[in-house]
Structures are given as structure tokens and as C-alpha cells.
Structure 1
Amino acid sequence: MSERLIVIGGDAAGMSAASQARRLKGADELEIVVFERGHFTSFSACGIPYWVSGDVSERDDLIARTPEEHRSRAIDLRMRTEVVEIDVAGGRVRARDLESGAESWTDYDKLVIATGARPIRPPLPGIDAPGVHGVQTLDDGQALIETLGRTEGKRAVVIGAGYIGVEMAEALIKRDYAVTMVNRGDEPMSTLDPDMGALVRTAMCGMGVEIVSGAEVTEIRTGPDGRVNAVVTVDAEYPADVVVLGIGVHPETTLAATAGLPLGKHGGLLTDLAMRVRGQDNIWAGGDCVEVLDLVSGVERHIALGTHANKHGQIIGSGIGGGYATFPGVVGTAVSKVCDLEVARTGLREKEARAAGLQYVTVIIESTSRSGYYPGAAKMTVKMLAERRTGRLLGVQIVGGEGAGKRVDIAAVALTARMTVEQMTALDLGYAPPFSPVWDPVLVAARKAVTAVQQRG
């Protein structure tokens, strides 16, 4: 007799799990049913800002695999169908057809929860007014593009200065909008230390973004037509024809919480190394709805990234299909760009190192992405944190021109291997003038960190 696998969520983690399980087990052994409440599957949410900006011309370029392609692989994919209840004791879910409103129960032998994350929408007056947009799904991107196409004014306010906020500010600049970014923090990109975030602010101001720091939004004001026309803070008011929320996301775990499944302090589901929900034998979870172990600090964090979601799905599908795989954790690597400026980080910021009770040293160096004499060499700044006594690498942040961002991968590997900064100085990295100075900037920072550890240790 075949088993039934139900997957809640048809994007990265959910469809990766379903596809991997199907590779390992045929339809006669495993029936796979996927419920997806949206209009699209397997799409790149990270690419939405570049679609909005026009760098990506077609929406479908962001879709890795369509519903029809999934169905051709013997996956029963039910679009525009939302799971509204999980009955753990009964081994079933209740789903609602969003077009007809009809509801029905479906039994499962195995369940995957891949409900993703939702944009944070603070309970402000006017937050749901026409012209206010979160950006999480292709539907969100389409709605924003339509608003930009029919809005007469050219004033935009971005609330929040994280990855999404910064990328959307650039997208709106490219669409000839006057952009104001309202940020609660002192510097944009709170995933960086403030001294590195200041470099991002300088670059954004240079491309024409007005950045308002230390500002608390109190209201989104609307005009006589009900549409947004201003963002109000404690101290000022900023005219707006369109507002984009870039405040961040929160794990979408309402279903899981109601079903009594375990959540962490960030609101994400807690799983074991095989991505099985803790305390459950037949329920798995992955993607933006889970918390993951930080391998540097040893604490659990919520990090919403497509790279993790796809890995989670592969691991879950392998376990369900009879194989074996684990997800040991992350070091917190992320990379982005603002026009020609590349921004990257991995490991711990100073704030996180202090919270973990670590004593550390920091160093900052300036270098270039190529040999200084080679055409196109771009400036870059590298900040490195190392444990004060042992010299263990704790974190790296990089801000610079073309060729800077992906250098963070060197540090990500070193963090995963728990290398010291002294060990890093011996890394045999590739060198040629078009790609790097003789001493790669990351290794220059490591050398300086070694000296700091010796002096402070």
C-alpha cells in the first residue's frame, strides 16, 4: 500500500522536498499532494527587486519550474488552495479552495510544512491603504509594478533599510522615482556593524536616495481618494505616491503554532538535524518557517534565504524517500548590492559576539578587488572579528566595488571549518592581477587580525 505525503507550500523548500521524494520513490509507493495558496511555484523571491527595476524583463524568468512541470512528475499540485488547519493527532489537514471557498480534509502519512515567511506589517494607521506594498511573492511584485505603472506621482518612501529595503530603493531609483528611505536604525543594513553600514549609506546617498535615520514611523497618511500620500514619523512627514515595506519578515508559523508544534524564540519551527519537527516522527519543516543553528555562536536563528530553503527541501525529501541527509547549521552568509557597491557578511557582528559572551578583536583594512595597476580595480573594505584568546575567526563583513562581495565565501568556508585567523593566512587562494592583489584582501585582514590577537591575547 502506498503512503501519502502532504506538502504545505509550493515554493523552494516545499517543491524541493516533493521533487526529491519523487526521485527516490515512485507514484506506486508514495502519493504526493502539495497545497499552494498562491498563483506560482518554485520562484525566486530574491529576484523580485530586479524585476521591478527592469533588470529582469519578464516575470516568468524568475520561475524555475511551473505547476504543469511539477504535475508531469506525478505530483498532485493544488494551486490557490490554502491549508487552514493541521490535525496532528488525526494525521490530516483541512484545506480551502480560495476560488470557490470549499473546504475538505485530506489524510497524510507524512507531512512537510514549508509555509515560508510573511513581510512584517506593523499595526500602523493606513498600513493597508492602496499604494502600500510588501514584497515577498510574485503576486506582490506584480501588484507593485502595476501600481508604479498607473501612479502619476514619482515619490516613493521605503520603510526599513534591510536587504529588501535597500534593493527596492535601488529598483525605484532606476524607475526614476525620488526615493526616501525611513530607517529606525542609525545606518542602513543592520546585518552589518554600524561602521560598515555607514559605507552603504554613503553609496546610497550618492545615487540619490534620501536616508532618514533614527526615525519611528507613526502613520501612513492617505488622501481624499483613500490612497497613500505621506509617511509620518515622530518628527516629520514625507510625501509618498507609493510606499514599500522593507522592514523584514517573520516566520509564517500560525498553522504550526495552532497545531501545538514547537517554536523557537524567533517564532520559527524547531527541527532536528534531518529537518524533522522536534517531537514528531512524521512531520518535517524547512525554509523560511524554521529556525536554524548558528554554527559560530551556537544559538538558533531565523534566516530567510532561498539557499537554505532549497537545501532543507533536498534533505527532507531524502529522508522521506528512504535516504539520509542532515542540515548541520549556518554561519550567516549573505550578499547583496546597491548599484555598483557589493555588500557581504558572514559570521557574527560585534553585537552578536557580545551577546554570545565572546571576547574578540576587530580589524578593518582597505584594499582593491584586483591588482591596483590593473584596469577596473575597485576599492573594498574588509572588517574581521576574531576571538581574542584563540584567534578563531568569528565574522567578516565586506563592502566594495565589483569583485568584492563573493570574497565572503572564503570566510564562510573558514568559519564552517572553525579556522583561526592565523590558519587563514596560509590559505592557497588563486592569484592573477585581473582577479586579486598578490595578497587577497581577506588574507590581508586575517594577517592584521593575527597581530591584533597577539597584542590583545
Structure 2
Amino acid sequence: MTQRRMVVVGGDAAGMSAASAARRLKDPGQLAITAFERGRFSSYSACGIPYWTGGLVDGPGALVARTPEEHRRRGIDLRMRTEVTELDLPGQRVRVRDLTSGQESWHGYDDLVLATGARPLRPALEGIDAPGVHGVQTLDDGQALLAGLDGPDGGRAVVIGAGYIGVEMAEALLRRGYAVTVVEKASQPMSTLDPDMGALVRKAMCGMGIDVVTGTAVTGVRTGPGGRVAAVATAAGEYPADVVVLGLGVRPETTLADAAGLPLGEYGGLLTDLAMRVRGHENVWAGGDCAEVLDLVSGRMRHIALGTHANKHGQVIGTNIGGGYATFPGVVGTAVSKVCDLEIARTGLLEAQASAAGLAFHAVTVESTSRAGYYPGAAPMTVKMLAERRTGRLLGVQIVGREGAAKRVDVAAVALTAGMTVERMTALDLGYAPPFSPVWDPVLVAARKAAAAVAAG
């Protein structure tokens, strides 16, 4: 039997999940697997970087699920500090450069897996590349940030952008004793929420001592002696900074794919079929943050950079390359986050997304508590729900609250995946006891209100 060659570009979640899944199905005599990773770590949790920065978890070792040595013992030739610089699709080979020696070479493949991840947005502003300005996407980024932080008493930090990474890094720097300012050009933090729900996040962040500046775009980064960052400039003024963290979101890292002529979507991510095979290319696969996915609610393609999706993509790719069968049907856009003790969750569509998809809807908001109101520790919770007009189909849910709020979104995620109506949701048999929920769970209270709105027309 001829030995096939599988080449993986990217040594984190999607890439190494693909390699591991394929190896479980095919032994080294049947399938040679070579993976290239330009960084210093493999199979790690980038989501843990804010908690490492804030001193809640150890790093970087604790954030690594499987080391290069462990992968190699399982029959995967993982080559670290090695960057793929060119894809030759007609020739079925990739050009690689050893970042230590500078030596270049070509490697052939029968199946190519692109798991190149995403890159932090870094706007073309004066001073944006100055020492002390950090993107946070890899463990190498986390190490660089920690190496540049002051002692336990902190200093002045500015976070540019108030998305997931922005609010999580604001908490991390606050925990380290920094005076934190968050600058966001939108009207409210967390653009992954509707503005009325984002306003709740802003109020809570301000109450924690974080200075939240919204409706203001950054115009540049000022430097001081030695060229190190000294302040962040905006149209509204300057904010002193000893360290700056970019929390502006990410874009798919598809530079190689674009140069090779592979199909990209609206957000710059690779387009695949249900098997995670790149469209129009029988032996090229893609998964993780470099790919776009189908939104099951709107029917549109989206770019959602989450480790949960990346690991699933890798499992699907590796299973198919290994001779099995698997598909990835799509997502409903579920995500959770926190800033200090405030929990933030969403799934499905925001109002703007529903409108852009041509959907007419009712939006309702309810105030409830995480536990029975009389039980110690009951905390306020706000739930917003979108339901399609006439049909009553659930379109989206957003939750902002304290302990016990965020994971309630999973009920809505299941309902969305199942295509349930809000009327049907009101009958869900959810668990109840005073320490865990009111008699009517907050999600079901919102469903009742949404169902009433649908019935009223």
C-alpha cells in the first residue's frame, strides 16, 4: 500500500486536532503526517492568556494541552519554529523556512490542511508598532506582554477595543494593579451585543474602576524616551499609557491561501464544504480561525474565531483524511465572556444581523435573578430575546448578569440549533431548586414574553 502524505500548516487547535484524528485512523505506514508551526508552542489555549496575564492561572505550560514531544510520540512529525511561506497547489508542495537557521525547502503532500488561524487587527496608525503595544493572539504574544509589564503595583494601561479580548484584558490588567482605560469607537462596549445590552456592560465596568471611553476612535500612539509607548491619542484627547493592548478583534490569516488563489469569503476566510474541504480543491482542507462557517440561523457565512469550532473542524478534517466520514454543519454563534464578576453571553443573531438577513422580529428584554429571590446570593440578570414575527422562531438571546448568568445561554443555543419557537421553549423542562434558579428560569421568562409579542402580532 502506498503511503500518503498529510501536511498541516499550523500547530494549534484545528491543525493538531486534524493530525491527531487522522493518526487514530491511519498508522504511520499508511499515512505520514508532517505539521509546521512557526511559533514556540503547540496545541495551546489562547483563550487562557487573559487569565494568565491576570495571575489567575499559571502559564505558559499550563495552557498547553499537548506538547510537540507528545505529538511526536504519537507519530506526528511536528516541526516548530518553521514557517510555511508558499503554497504550490499544482505541484502539491509547500515551501517552508526554518526560522532558526533560515534554511528553506519544499515538502510534498497528498492532503494539505490549512489551519493558519487569525491575526489581531493592528490599524495603520502612527506609533502602533512601538514597544509596549501588544496584540494578544498566541502564547508568544502573552509572554511578550508579561515581560513588558511593571511590578505588582502596575501603572497605566490603555486597551484599544472593547470586544471579548478587550474586556478580558481590561480585567487582567486591573487585577495586576494597573489603572485601566478602555477606548472603543462604537457607542457601547461589546459590539457582539446589541447597544442596550452593551450599556449594561459599560455600567458594570465603570463600577469596577475601569475608565470606559466610547464613541471615540484612536488616531495614534505617542511615544516617549527610547521610543516606548507613552500615550494613546484620540479625537477626544490623549490617555497616558505604560502599556497598550490591542483588543480590536481578529481577521482570518489567509495570506498564503489568497496568494495561491484559494476561495475566500466576505470576511476573508477560506470557504469550505461540509467536510471542511476547500471549495473546488479535492485535497486541500481548512479549519479553525482561518475559515468561515455557516450561520444556521441566518443562512449566511460568518467568521467566528473560537477554539470550540477549531477543534471540531480539526476532528472533521482528520476523520475524512483518515478514511472516515464526518461533516461540520455550522454554528449558531454562541459565546460567553466575563469582566471581573460580570458574565456576558450571546447566541444567535443581534438585531442588526437579523435585519441584515431580511428577518422581521420582536425583541423583548426581561429582568430576573440567578436564583430564587429569597435565596442568599441571588443576583440580577438581564435577558434579551429575539423571535421571528409570525413564526415565533427563536433568533437570538443575549444575557448580562452575575454568577450563574452566562452558561444559561446554552439552553438557547440548543433551542436555536433545534429550530424551536419561543412558544415551544416555554414548555422546556428545566431544572429548578432555589439555589439555582427562580421557579421560572430567566430564559423561559424571556420566552414567555417573546411568545406573547408574537401572538399579539
TM-score normalised to structure 1 length: 0.99
| 1:320 partnered with 2:321 | yes
Q: Which one-letter code corresponds to 1:103 in the other structure? A: E
Q: Which one-letter code corresponds to 1:211 in the other structure? A: V
CA shift digits 1:310-330 (9 cap, x unpaired) = 000000000000001100000
Q: Which one-letter code corresponds to 1:352 in the other structure? A: Q
| In 2, Cα distance between equivalents of 1:434 and 1:321 | 47
| In 1, Cα distance between equivalents of 2:108 and 2:145 | 38
Asked whether the equivalents of residues 151 and 241 of structure 1 are also in contact (C-alpha less than 8 Å), the reply is: no
Q: Which one-letter code corresponds to 2:225 in the other structure? A: P
For the residue of structure 1 that corresponds to 2:290, the secondary structure is: coil
Asked whether the equivalents of residues 152 and 176 of structure 2 are also in contact (C-alpha less than 8 Å), the reply is: no
CA shift digits 1:61-113 (9 cap, x unpaired) = 11000000000001001000000000000000000000111000000000000
Map of 1:76-87 to 2, 5 A cutoff?
76-87=77-88
CA shift digits 1:41-60 (9 cap, x unpaired) = 00000000000000002321
The answer for the alignment partner of 1:413 in structure 2 is: 414
With over 3 angstroms needed to count, the CA separation of the structure-2 counterparts of 1:444 and 1:152, relative to structure 1, is: closer
The answer for the alignment partner of 2:279 in structure 1 is: 278
With over 3 angstroms needed to count, the CA separation of the structure-2 counterparts of 1:443 and 1:152, relative to structure 1, is: closer
Cα distance, 1:434 vs. partner?
Answer: 1.2
Map of 1:57-96 to 2, 5 A cutoff?
57-96=58-97
Asked whether the equivalents of residues 153 and 241 of structure 1 are also in contact (C-alpha less than 8 Å), the reply is: no
The answer for the alignment partner of 1:55 in structure 2 is: 56
The answer for the alignment partner of 2:100 in structure 1 is: 99
| In 1, Cα distance between equivalents of 2:453 and 2:93 | 58
For the residue of structure 2 that corresponds to 1:443, the secondary structure is: helix
Asked whether the equivalents of residues 251 and 288 of structure 1 are also in contact (C-alpha less than 8 Å), the reply is: yes
Map of 1:393-408 to 2, 5 A cutoff?
393-408=394-409
The answer for the alignment partner of 1:430 in structure 2 is: 431
Asked whether the equivalents of residues 84 and 96 of structure 2 are also in contact (C-alpha less than 8 Å), the reply is: yes
Q: Which one-letter code corresponds to 2:251 in the other structure? A: H
**CA RMSD after TM alignment:** 1.0
Cα distance, 1:234 vs. partner?
Answer: 1.5
Cα distance, 1:150 vs. partner?
Answer: 6.5
The answer for the alignment partner of 1:255 in structure 2 is: 256
| In 2, Cα distance between equivalents of 1:228 and 1:119 | 19
Cα distance, 1:454 vs. partner?
Answer: 1.1
Cα distance, 1:177 vs. partner?
Answer: 0.3
Q: Which one-letter code corresponds to 1:174 in the other structure? A: R
| In 1, Cα distance between equivalents of 2:231 and 2:354 | 39
CA shift digits 1:370-408 (9 cap, x unpaired) = 111111111100000000110000000000010010000
The answer for the alignment partner of 1:192 in structure 2 is: 193
| In 1, Cα distance between equivalents of 2:153 and 2:201 | 30
| 1:162 partnered with 2:163 | yes
| In 2, Cα distance between equivalents of 1:59 and 1:5 | 29
Map of 1:154-303 to 2, 5 A cutoff?
154-303=155-304
Asked whether the equivalents of residues 152 and 177 of structure 2 are also in contact (C-alpha less than 8 Å), the reply is: no
The answer for the alignment partner of 1:355 in structure 2 is: 356
For the residue of structure 2 that corresponds to 1:180, the secondary structure is: strand
The answer for the alignment partner of 2:113 in structure 1 is: 112
| In 2, Cα distance between equivalents of 1:369 and 1:212 | 30
Q: Which one-letter code corresponds to 1:359 in the other structure? A: A
Cα distance, 1:167 vs. partner?
Answer: 0.2
| In 1, Cα distance between equivalents of 2:143 and 2:433 | 44
CA shift digits 1:95-135 (9 cap, x unpaired) = 00001110000000000000000000000010110000000
Cα distance, 1:170 vs. partner?
Answer: 0.4
Asked whether the equivalents of residues 8 and 35 of structure 1 are also in contact (C-alpha less than 8 Å), the reply is: yes
For the residue of structure 2 that corresponds to 1:5, the secondary structure is: strand
Asked whether the equivalents of residues 370 and 376 of structure 1 are also in contact (C-alpha less than 8 Å), the reply is: yes
With over 3 angstroms needed to count, the CA separation of the structure-2 counterparts of 1:151 and 1:215, relative to structure 1, is: farther
| In 1, Cα distance between equivalents of 2:422 and 2:414 | 12
For the residue of structure 1 that corresponds to 2:86, the secondary structure is: strand
Cα distance, 1:152 vs. partner?
Answer: 8.9
CA shift digits 1:308-363 (9 cap, x unpaired) = 00000000000000001100000000000111111000000000011011110011
TM-score normalised to structure 2 length: 0.99
Q: Which one-letter code corresponds to 2:418 in the other structure? A: A
| In 2, Cα distance between equivalents of 1:131 and 1:359 | 46
Which segment drifts farther, 310-319 or 51-60?
51-60
Q: Which one-letter code corresponds to 1:422 in the other structure? A: E
The answer for the alignment partner of 1:131 in structure 2 is: 132
The answer for the alignment partner of 1:35 in structure 2 is: 36
Asked whether the equivalents of residues 86 and 93 of structure 1 are also in contact (C-alpha less than 8 Å), the reply is: yes
User: What is the percentage of aligned positions where both structures have the same residue?
Assistant: 75
| In 1, Cα distance between equivalents of 2:407 and 2:153 | 39
Unaligned runs of 5+ in 2: none
| In 1, Cα distance between equivalents of 2:154 and 2:165 | 22
Cα distance, 1:224 vs. partner?
Answer: 2.5
Which segment drifts farther, 364-373 or 272-281?
364-373
With over 3 angstroms needed to count, the CA separation of the structure-2 counterparts of 1:338 and 1:157, relative to structure 1, is: same
The answer for the alignment partner of 1:387 in structure 2 is: 388
Q: Which one-letter code corresponds to 2:63 in the other structure? A: L
Residues matched between the structures, number: 456
| In 2, Cα distance between equivalents of 1:38 and 1:58 | 16
Cα distance, 1:216 vs. partner?
Answer: 1.1
CA shift digits 1:395-451 (9 cap, x unpaired) = 000000100100000000000011000000011111111111111110010001011
Asked whether the equivalents of residues 154 and 176 of structure 2 are also in contact (C-alpha less than 8 Å), the reply is: no
Q: Which one-letter code corresponds to 2:137 in the other structure? A: Q
Which segment drifts farther, 50-59 or 268-277?
50-59
| In 2, Cα distance between equivalents of 1:212 and 1:403 | 28
CA shift digits 1:224-281 (9 cap, x unpaired) = 2100000001221111110000000000000000001000010000000000000011
For the residue of structure 2 that corresponds to 1:225, the secondary structure is: helix
| In 2, Cα distance between equivalents of 1:50 and 1:68 | 26
Asked whether the equivalents of residues 154 and 179 of structure 2 are also in contact (C-alpha less than 8 Å), the reply is: no
| In 1, Cα distance between equivalents of 2:158 and 2:384 | 31
| In 1, Cα distance between equivalents of 2:237 and 2:154 | 20
Asked whether the equivalents of residues 333 and 346 of structure 1 are also in contact (C-alpha less than 8 Å), the reply is: yes
Q: Which one-letter code corresponds to 1:112 in the other structure? A: V
